Structure 1
Amino acid sequence: MKVATLDHGGRDGRLVVVSDDLQSYRFCTDATLQEALDMGRLVPEFQDHSFDVAYCAAPLPRAFQFLDGSAYVNHVDLVRRARGAEMPARFWSDPLMYQGLSVFAGSGDEIRGRAEWGVDFEAEIAVITSAVHQGVSAEEASGFVEYVMVLNDISLRNLIPDELSKGFGFVQSKPISACSPVAVTPDALPGWDGRKLHGILKVDLNGAPFGRADAGEDMTFDFGDLIAHAAKTRALPAGTVIGSGTVSNRDPDGGPGNPVAQGGRGYSCIAEQRMVETILSGAAETPFLKTRDRVRIWMEDETGQSIFGAIDQTVRLDP
């Protein structure tokens, strides 16, 4: 089943069930996705309406909690290698995770900020959970995944170093993230293996292919691991969103990876391309986002049909 939230009918929008081909929708008896998660049910009405992602908010505009991991340790490794830092061994066995802003932008909302902040996108997979009990095991945790979606976790790269140097975590460097217009139940995803989603996460920047990474490969910590990590010392309420972190694949020959234009899988964020440039040539060349840039993030099934709809955002930075 596929669901979306139309951007009307209250602060949390109006819940609808969307057809598999994203062409029509039906209203639900529960007004919002949070209500449906709390009640453990989702009942669509009978009348079909024409579906248009332009009228969608995020599937869950206000979540109880947003926890974002860094499940693709290759991404962390590249970032640390570029600045000559050694990768701590525990990063391969203990997930990184931060608590982010639990309000989400719609798939077509503008990316805002200031140029000096180093505005970047991060293409991720995210899940929405039902209520998870404290101490859940990784094996059991995957059973609490109710919906899967695509996420653009915006990062302000130039603010991150000073913020992390305080030793306390992200706040200013992690503004609002955007979600795909549609969230999908795991049973409707052929690429879902129970704990991760296999398939090419596509990223275009200004109409040119930027990233074509496979979300099912090189995921050091799957969603069972991430949920269990988050619930080690506390229960998670229904409506918790957990992100995978930037999807990142290793290069087959052991190198740092190549851009799509050079036959590689590219990157799911600008920072990773800049890190590879630094490793190979000693300096980053690709700029961060600028006003009028356009970022598109989506995933297709084997027939070429969009699964979640696309995150399609333009950039408007303050002078």
Structure 2
Amino acid sequence: MKLATIDNGTPDGTAVVVSDDLSSCARLGMSMQQVLDRWDEVEWPEPAAPFDIAEALAPLPRAVQFLDGSAYVNHVELVRRARGAEMPERFWTDPLMYQGCSAPCLSATAPIATDPDWGTDFEAEVAVVTGFVPRGVSVARAGEAVRLVMLLNDVSLRALIPDELSKGFGFVQSKPPSAFSPIAVTPDALPGWAEGRLSGRVCVNLNDEAFGRAEAGADMTFGFPELIAHAAKTRDLPAGTIIGSGTVSNKLNGGPGKPVAEGGAGYSCIAEQRMVETIERGAAATPFLKGGDRVRIWMEDDGGRSVFGDIDQGVVPA
């Protein structure tokens, strides 16, 4: 089943069931948060009214919380390697996670505001929305809480991150609101969903040129059950919690990947390409985002159709 939220003049919009071909929908008469709170009681009508994906907001315009992990440890390893820092072994067994901006969650076409001094970057990720998760849930049970799967663009301001992290207190200014795919899909409707991981290519175009074609199911050190259990170690997670995978990242023959233009899977963020350039050539060459750039993120099914709809954002001056 595919779900979306359309604008009805209220901050949370109204939730709709969407047909597989994204052409029709049926209103549920409540917000997506209310749907998640009443999941087992909801009656799911058959889509019959026309659906315009351009009217879609983020599936959860105001989430109860957004927790972003770093499940693709290859990405973390590259970032640290490029700056000559050793990666602690526990990063392979204990997930990294931070609490991001949960309100607003931006629509798939919201502009990315940039400043030349911010080092603005995109990060293509997979995300899940949970039902209620009890504190201390086991990894074996955590996967049962996944209600919806979607894509997200976790915008990162790379030039602001070092100063923030040097304070030892995490991200705030360097992690502005993220944009989400217009469509969220239940796991049972995703043929690529297995054991808490989504298989399929996360496609990224930068200015209409192929930038990333990473396989979401490969090189994912921690599945979503592990991320959910990690987040719930000391607290309940309310229904409507969003958990991100972190930047989708693939290795190539055990080492850094290659750009799409050179036959590789490319990258899901600019920083990773810059890290590989630094490792291989001694300096980064690819610039961060600037006004006028356009970023498109999507995933296709076997028939070439967009599974979650496209995240398609233009970059504007802050």
Same fold by TM (over 0.5)? yes
Determine if the alignment matches structure 1 residue 176 to structure 2 residue 195.
no
**Cα deviation 1:133-183 (Å, max 9, x = unaligned):** 000011110000000000100000000000000011000000000000000
Letter in structure 2 aligned against 1:299: M
Letter in structure 2 aligned against 1:42: V
**Cα deviation 1:36-58 (Å, max 9, x = unaligned):** 11112333445622222211100
Where does 1:237-316 land on structure 2 (aligned, <5 Å)? Answer: 237-252=238-253, 254-316=254-316
Alpha-carbon distance between aligned partners in 1 of 2:142 and 2:166, rounded to the nearest angstrom? 33
Percent identity of paired positions between Structure 1 and Structure 2: 65
What does residue 231 of structure 1 align with? Answer: 232
Alpha-carbon distance between aligned partners in 2 of 1:44 and 1:255, rounded to the nearest angstrom? 46
Where does 1:159-170 land on structure 2 (aligned, <5 Å)? Answer: 159-170=160-171
**Cα deviation 1:91-121 (Å, max 9, x = unaligned):** 0000000000112000000001312100000
Where does 1:78-157 land on structure 2 (aligned, <5 Å)? Answer: 78-103=78-103, 104-157=105-158
Contact 1:16 1:44 survives alignment (8 Å): no
Contact 1:130 1:238 survives alignment (8 Å): yes
Alpha-carbon distance between aligned partners in 2 of 1:255 and 1:223, rounded to the nearest angstrom? 24
Letter in structure 1 aligned against 2:66: F
Letter in structure 2 aligned against 1:14: T
Contact 2:121 2:271 survives alignment (8 Å): yes
What does residue 60 of structure 1 align with? Answer: 60
Contact 2:155 2:178 survives alignment (8 Å): yes
The CA deviation at 1:259 is: 0.1
Q: Structure 1 residues 47, 280: closer, same or farther in 2, change over 3 A? A: closer
Determine if the alignment matches structure 1 residue 43 to structure 2 residue 35.
no
The CA deviation at 1:19 is: 0.3
Between stretches 255-264 and 34-43, larger displacement belongs to 34-43
Letter in structure 1 aligned against 2:301: D
What does residue 207 of structure 1 align with? Answer: 208
Unaligned residue ranges in structure 1 (runs of 5+)? none
- Compute the RMSD of aligned alpha carbons: 1.0
Alpha-carbon distance between aligned partners in 2 of 1:213 and 1:119, rounded to the nearest angstrom? 21
Contact 2:114 2:291 survives alignment (8 Å): no
What does residue 221 of structure 1 align with? Answer: 222
Alpha-carbon distance between aligned partners in 1 of 2:252 and 2:45, rounded to the nearest angstrom? 48
The CA deviation at 1:125 is: 0.2
Alpha-carbon distance between aligned partners in 2 of 1:169 and 1:139, rounded to the nearest angstrom? 29
Report how many aligned residue pairs link the two structures. Answer: 316
Contact 1:227 1:242 survives alignment (8 Å): yes
Letter in structure 1 aligned against 2:161: I
Letter in structure 1 aligned against 2:124: A
What does residue 186 of structure 1 align with? Answer: 187
Contact 2:114 2:289 survives alignment (8 Å): no
Structure 1 segments of 4 or more deviating over 6 A? none
Unaligned residue ranges in structure 2 (runs of 5+)? none
SS of the residue 2:276 aligns to: helix
Alpha-carbon distance between aligned partners in 1 of 2:51 and 2:199, rounded to the nearest angstrom? 26
SS of the residue 1:187 aligns to: helix
What does residue 33 of structure 1 align with? Answer: 32
Alpha-carbon distance between aligned partners in 2 of 1:126 and 1:166, rounded to the nearest angstrom? 28
The CA deviation at 1:261 is: 0.3
TM-score normalised by L of structure 2: 0.98
Contact 2:195 2:223 survives alignment (8 Å): no
Contact 1:27 1:44 survives alignment (8 Å): no
Letter in structure 2 aligned against 1:107: A
SS of the residue 1:279 aligns to: helix
**Cα deviation 1:168-202 (Å, max 9, x = unaligned):** 10000000000000000000000000311001000
Alpha-carbon distance between aligned partners in 2 of 1:46 and 1:18, rounded to the nearest angstrom? 9
